[in-house]
Amino acid sequence: MSATIYTCRSPAEFDEAVTQASKLLRNGKLVVVPTETVYGIAINLALRSAVQEAMELKHIKTPAPWVVHLPDAAATQRFLGKIPPVASRLIRKCWPGPVAFELPVTPEDRRKLTPLVGAATADEMTQGGMMNLRCPDNAFTHALLSRVKHPIAILGAGKGTAAHSADAIAKTISDAVAAIVDDGPTRYRKASTVVQVKQDKLKVVRPGVIDARIIYRMADLTILFVCSGNTCRSPMAAGFAREFLAKKLHTRPQDLADHHVLVLSAGTGAFSGMPATADAIAAAAELGADIEAHSSQSLTGELLRRADVIYTMTKGHLKEIIEMNPSVADKTFTLDENGDVSDPIGSSRENYRKVAQKIHALIAQRLDGIEL
């Protein structure tokens, strides 16, 4: 008996497809659904009969770890108690989207999983002490996963190769599943990228839609400090931040990049290639930061987009940044919540010390609770 076909051409058809597909999945039936990369067989992992049916349909004797598909990032908490900070950053930046994550599973996570799916499926989901999770960027599948509260895996439905449209679904599959949801051609013709994260180390284990180079860049926690000329205040702030974060990570400031932490500084009116002023270098050194190698740079749109958080020395700098790129407003703050950090340029060495001491104290306040 051939599958029932549901389309999503109108809001009414979309709602009907979600309603019927969710009902079928809850009852242990197999349904082919779209994602942004492929069409795949949705499987209710809470029902062993559905898992076994999918394995027989795909001629799988020993399954690879099931890829659990989630409606949103918050749903990871159903399965994993703690996620490495690097993975959390990538999830925020990549989901929903064509990236799957292999994440470590603790013994406690494994114990909580068994009542949800049974021991056999839990073993398959946590092979090698890792679990595979993905949050697809497809409106239908997002609605379906939000409606069905059981863990759902999606397994490719192509004819030996990936199915990028409903027409490309293998006949053996279309004849066996309960329903097929046709949402038109997939957005991408590549597979999702698969990223493995253990502690603060990541590895792209399968290249896909998102290039590995971009994944590694997105994994960085990038903190940007902004002043005017980028020769006094923001270099001192960056120097103090590197020292502070290195101590939190039990490493050296020069090795922060190995932990996917970048601390940058720039100026709204800076000339490129200028060193920090001698007084700034001396004031920073008195408080334990070495900024002798600093080279100034002008603030750019790329720096603003790349940063995860931006701290400005004054409200004026903050206003300039938001005028430059309004989309960064929610991640841009003055370093001092209660006012400006005055510019010491041209003033006495003692004034530099006072400014440096203020910045040093503010860095400790701002970065104390930051997740690394």
Amino acid at 221: L
Q: Catalytic residue among 290, 308, 340, 343, which? A: 343
Residues 6 or more apart in contact with residue 278 via CB below 8 angstroms: none
How many of the other CB atoms lie within 10 Å of CB of 108? 11
- Which H or E run includes 32? strand 31-34
84, 197 contact by CB (below 8 A):
yes
What the block records as the tokens of 17 is 């497809």
Active site residue 233: yes
Active site residue 343: yes
Give ∠ CA 87-90-92 in degrees, rounded to 5.
Answer: 110
Q: Catalytic residue among 89, 137, 220, 233, which? A: 233
Phi, then psi, of 131 in degrees rounded to 5: -125, 140
259, 372 contact by CB (below 8 A):
yes
Phi, then psi, of 310 in degrees rounded to 5: -125, 130
Amino acid at 285: A
Q: Catalytic residue among 182, 227, 232, 336, which? A: 227
Return the exposure string of 26-60: e unless at least 16 CB atoms fall within 10 Å of the residue's CB, then b. Answer: eebbbbbbbbbbbbbbbbbbbbeebbebbbebbee
How many of the other CB atoms lie within 10 Å of CB of 256? 20
The whole-angstrom distance between residue 326's C-alpha and the CA centroid of its chain comes to 22
Amino acid at 208: G
Tell me how many helices (H) and strands (E) the chain has: 13, 14
Active site residue 135: no
Residues tagged active-site: 227, 233, 343
